[in-house]
Structure 1
């Protein structure tokens, strides 16, 4: 029984395969018959006959460089007129310290009625006209007075110490009040005098100095 079934199946399979192969061959024949001879098209690139005309542009010629103009003639240098300015008038402060005939400084007038100094050494101030300054410092002219053209005279009384220094200076007379006093006192304090000796010992003495403040008007 099994053998019969196997033979039947084999026959069916062979028949199916045969039928399938027949259909495939018939379809290929039909496709070959249907196809027509289609002419082949050749695409050929045609060279363009138009030629591009290139124009040659000529650059403009550079203009020749301009000729250098001849140098101008040298003009004579003008000579500056040397004008001499007139000298300016400047008021220069002038300190006038009067001097006596012998060349020493005039130290004012001493009282003739004063008693004569004793012969013995004394430390008290003495009135003496024989006074020789070793260092004289002129006073500075006050600016306010110079601007206002103010002149004046200051008389100062002071004591000359045993070492020649000035002490206890006071203004005893001033033609212009409180203008030249400070400058005169400051200057006289820097003066130095020759020391006077009595019996070989230095002594103090009293003196008076007159200082003039005068502008030099030229």
Structure 2
């Protein structure tokens, strides 16, 4: 019974406290009024400073002063001084020996022996003078027949005539084999040229 008597006032106090707390929560007066401030606005103005150089007007350049051409020089003053040939110095005379070992080889000559009018050598090597013939002071020539292939190379070299015989033949053939000729074109196609003849001369000076 005593517990019941104590529980009744405690229950009433608890209920009163709960209702009071709820009433306090519902009341808006305890909230602080927050004043909303309008957003700041500002305008930025770009002020362009006008410099003195922009306000300054460029002066028009003065026209160049025309140059006065010098007066023409007289022929008497412009004439070059004449050389006094009578007072020329006596220069020593130099005697140059242009021969190489007392040997002068004439370049090969082309003799028109028939069928060689269309020959156009693009590259040629002069024949070497045989040392034995040089020591004996021998001179002569070699007549050769050959064929020019479609590439312009020399083929099928044969000795037709030589004077003296078997002296300059080998050097003449060796030189002619390294020559290069203009290829003959027939209907747009390169063809071989047979029956070509040439004469190589060997002479001492």
TM-score, with structure 2 as normaliser: 0.50
Rg larger in 1 or in 2?
Answer: 1
TM-score, with structure 1 as normaliser: 0.47
